[in-house]
Amino acid sequence: MYRALSLLVLVFGFVCCLIAAAHIALGPRAIIGSVPVNATMDGEDRFFASLFLGFGAALIWCSRDLIARRRLFGALLLVFFVGGLARVLAAAETGWPHPLFIGLGLMELGLPPAFWIWLRC
């Protein structure tokens, strides 16, 4: 059971890195349903993508020993959960996003508690 969680976290980290790399390379064009943006928004997207790349790399590192790295893993899960809350705030202020991002928001709110419970079992 623990090995399955470690593998899932490893894959999760690689997916985060791939998404980040797409945003670093393509900027906001990597966002499904996006519109052309100005240079400020392009730079912000690529900057935050580099942080997401670090997030994914940290997940990959944690996946190697989730028990020993439990505190960092928990902090990463909390950050991911807060990202889901930020999507809720955005939807409340500006309306519903593309359906893909509704699904991503649900994952951001659901995966962290599920992974934490799984790790604790």
User: Where do the structural domains in the chain lie, given as residue ranges?
Assistant: 2-120
Taking the model in full, what pTM does it have? 0.93
Query: Residue 105: which residues within 8 A CB-CB, separation 6 or more?
Result: 84, 87, 88, 91
Instruction: List, for residues 33-81, the tens digit of each pLDDT value.
Output: 999 999 999 999 999 999 999 999 999 999 999 999 999 999 999 999 9
1 pLDDT band (50/70/90 cuts)? Answer: confident
Structure tokens at 118: 């799984």
User: Cα–Cα distance between 121 and 119 in angstroms, integer?
Assistant: 6
Apex CA 16: angle with CA 13 and CA 17, to 5°?
90
Placement of tokens 């349903």 in the chain: 33
